[in-house]
Each structure stands twice: as C-alpha cells, then as structure tokens.
A and B are shown apart, each in its own frame.
Chain A
Amino acid sequence: MHFINEVWAYLTDGANWTGSTGFPTLFYRQFILSLAVIIGAVLIGGCIGLVLGHTGRGSLVAVNAANAFRAVPSLALLTILAIVPAISLKWGGFLAAFIALLVLAVPPILTNTYVGIREVDADVRDAATAMGLTGSQVLRRVELPLALPFIVAGIRTAAIEVVATSTLAAYVSYSDLGTPLLAGLSVNNAVEATSASLMIIVLAALFAIGIGLIQRVVTPRALRTKRRGGNFLVSGPIGKVASPTAEDALAAST
C-alpha cells in the first residue's frame, strides 16, 4: 500500500505536470509520434495491400510480411537509425523514430489488407464485374468495404506495437513518456517508472479503444451481428491466417 501511495503522490504532484518534461508534453509527443506512424503505415501498407490483393499478385510476400517482421527486434531498428548521421538528428529525433516505427507498422497492415481483399467472396466479385463495374470500381465499392473489418484489425495490431515501441524511442532520440520510464528503470526508481508506465498504459488503451470503435463503425451492418470473437481491446485470434483448419484435420484423419 505504501508503494501505491507513493505512486499516487508522484502522479498527483503538480511539478510532474508542467514544463517540457511534464506528463502532458510527453504524452502529447508520444501520441503525435504514434499517430503519425499509424497514418503513414495505413497509407503505405494499405495501398500496397489493396493493389496486391486486387491483382492477386505477390501473395507470398504479402501473407508472410507480418510473420517475417515479428521477430525483428524493434530496439535494433531504432538504434541503427538513431546512429545513422543523416537522419539521427533530423526534426529533434522524430525522423529516426518515425522511420523505425513505420518499418514495424507496415507489415501487419499490409498482410491484413491483402488477406481481407482475398477473402472477399469470388462470386461477389464476379457479380460486380458482370454488372459492368470496372476494376477500380470493384476495388472501391465492393472489395474495400468488405475487407474493412480485416484492415482495421491489422491497424489495431500495428497500433498496439507502435505505441509499445514508441516508448523505446526515448532510449535513442525522441523524448516521450518512455523518458521518465527508462530513467526510473535505470536508477531503480520504481515510483517514477511505475507512474510513467501507468501514463503509457492510458495512451495504449486510448489507441486500442479508439480503433476498436472505428472497427465497430466500419464493419458492414450485415456482418456486425455475427461476432467473430474478440473484445474491445483485441480482435480475434492472432496469426490465425496461416493455420490449417481443424476441418482439414478431421477430413484427412477419417
């Protein structure tokens, strides 16, 4: 209880809420960095995924992109960019963090967009073509709306990762809520580290819930009733795309 009281005292101390190292400034900096990366990743990953999904090309790259990048240590990416002289100091360290996070955020969005488009029922696509829609019309009016729940799920995965990793940007170049967190860890100050952690959790929850709401809104009404599992924070099993189904297993075993 004593520790919790200390954390509470730290969080309610006015001195920690003002100036360039105060929580509002750091919170805002991390929020802006994360948001910029997510928007950038949606533009890049989404566009590539849409084109590949629509044409059906590059399936190997598109489907495996997310899996291949999962094991890349984000810390390694951040530090490499932070010591490349050409970008390390640009925009107060923002650029190095931005690019490193972008590399992490694009693959899940790309993979989910691709899979979402490919999951669209071929009959629906054929019907749209038969009705005289051009390729780009099929993409915009048929494939994109039906794939949106998948795409937003990918954005959510990417966002969780981006917020987590933007905390590490404090280690290399860009001060945000990770700054007091890492400082607390390095000098064994549990109160400071825990307080900063709680602020970061608020930020992470904000993104998760915000994107959850978007997901609910963009899901076509007809698909909304049958929930695929998932809750407000995370949607559906993770990495299920590549798994063989139990139906296959049963069919083969009998």
Chain B
Amino acid sequence: MHRNANGCRAGIVPQVLLGNLIGWSITNWSEIQADLVQHIELTFIAVGIGLCIAVPLALVAWRYPITRAPFVGFSSVLYIIPSVALFAIVGAYTGYIASYLTAEIALVGYTLLILMWNTLAGLAAVPPEAKEASIALGYTRTATLWRVELPLALPYIFAGLRVATSTVVGLVTVTLFIGLGGLGQLVNYGFMASFTTPIIVALILAVLLAAICDLAWVGIERLVVPWSRSSRRATVRA
C-alpha cells in the first residue's frame, strides 16, 4: 500500500516532484557541492592526463607506423574492459579504499583510446597536398608533423576531447565502488534509502556538467582553431 501511494504521487504531480528536487538540493547543498567538486576533479584530471598521454602516443604512432598496432591494440583492450573490473585489477596493486590513483589510472585508460583514435583519424585526414607543400618548402618530416599535420588534425582532437569528457563524466559515478564516486555518492545514498530524489539530482547534475564541459570545449576550439568555425559559415553561405 505504502509503495503504491509513493508511486502515484510521483506520477501524478510532476510539479511537486520538481519542487522536491529543488528543495532537497537547497537543504543538502553542502553535501551535493562536495560530491560535485570531487566529480569535477576526477573528470578534469582524467581528461587532462589522457590528453597529455594520448596525443604524443598518437603522434609517435603516426610518425613510426610500426608502433601503431601495439599502441592502438593496447588502448582497445583497455577500452573493452568494464570500468569496475579495471578498478578491481588496478586497485589490487594501488589500493581500493578511496584511491584517486586507482580511479585515475582506470579513467585515463578510457580516454586513451578515444583521444588516440581521433588524433590518428585527424592526422589521416590531412590532405596529402598540404604535406607535400610543406616538404617542398623545406620542412623536415618532424616539422611537418608539428606545424602542418597536428594543427590540421585539431578539429578531430577536439571532437575526441568532447566525447572523452562526456564519457568520463558518466563513468566517474562508478568510482563509488572504490570509495569515491563524486555524484555517485548521491546515487548510493538514494539507493540505500529507497529515495529517488538524490538519484535524480545526481543524474541531472551529471548531464549538466557534461553539457557545460561540452560547450567549454566548443568555445576553446573556436579560439584555438578559428578556421573550423569560418569553414562552417562558408559552407552555409555557399
């Protein structure tokens, strides 16, 4: 009986639910804020380290094709492994209890494949004429890579960063099982108390966080790669 009453109330009066969400969030803001900050920390560190590892690896893989198969193969294997399983295996060596190191190693593993693959795709999409022109101008192969190919691959790298960031925002909740969790802590609280409000708050905040990060990447891309924006305008005009 009690359960039915609960279900009905949530279904019939959505305004009340929304009011509850906001009311609950205000009352419990200090806890929500702590979880949110942890979520953002875990996400930023993972994407930052992932970027610092993946792009150089992709450049090496591109410059020396013999390394391509092992690099991509390794990151594919990391990508296939479910996150909790990766936490368990990594944590066997680095510790399970609220270990940022364990969490970040696993989270970076997921960004690696996404970022590496997009960087490689971007490098592969550089028109051969641009490369030939730069070599004809006297650039060495390494200089061509740095000054011509990498800048032209930037739109792909940004696309990868956007996907990687959203993916990590979603994954961070899973670090709950090694004592972290960010917004996952709210999910856990709601689940333990059979109370949907904190779970919905966590879900909304995660999606909002991902959306804000996505917009931020778009903004940074416009600053760093101004031509990708003008190209779109040009296409519209044509």
> Which residues of A approach B to under 8 Å, CB–CB?
3, 67-68, 70-77, 79-80, 82-86, 160, 163-165, 167-168, 171-172, 178, 181-182, 184-186, 188, 190, 193-194, 196-198, 200-201, 204-205, 208, 229, 231, 233-234, 236-240, 242-253
Contacts and interface: CB of A to CB of B under 8 A. Distances in A.
Of all A-B residue pairs in the complex, the 9 with the closest CB atoms, nearest first, are A71-B210, A243-B159, A164-B82, A252-B231, A239-B163, A197-B85, A85-B3, A193-B88, A73-B173
Nearest to A83: B194
A70 B167 CA distance: 6
B227 A75 contact: no
Nearest to B177: A185
20 contacts: A70-B163, A70-B167, A71-B207, A71-B210, A71-B211, A75-B176, A163-B82, A181-B84, A190-B88, A193-B88, A194-B89, A198-B89, A236-B121, A239-B118, A244-B228, A246-B125, A248-B228, A250-B130, A252-B230, A253-B227
Contacts of B117: 229, 234, 236-238
B231 A76 contact: no
B212 to A, nearest CB: 10
Contacts of A237: 117-118, 120-121, 156, 160
Given A75-B187, A185-B178, A234-B76, 8 more contacts: A67-B163, A71-B167, A75-B174, A83-B195, A172-B191, A204-B81, A245-B155, A249-B231
Given A168-B174, A233-B77, A246-B156, A71 B4 contact: no
Main secondary structure of the interface of A (DSSP, over half): helix
Contacts of B72: 231
Contact of B187 (A76, A231, A242, A246): A76
A84 B7 contact: yes
Contacts of A82: 191
A249 B96 contact: no
Chain B contact patch, size range: 35 or more
Contacts of A80: 196, 199-200, 203
Contacts of A165: 82
A62 B14 CA distance: 27
A86 B176 CA distance: 26
Interface string B183-201: 1100110110011100110
A238 B97 contact: no
Nearest to B181: A75
B225 interface: yes
Contacts of A194: 88-89, 92
B52 to A, nearest CB: 19
B120 to A, nearest CB: 7
B103 interface: no
Contacts of B79: 160, 233-234
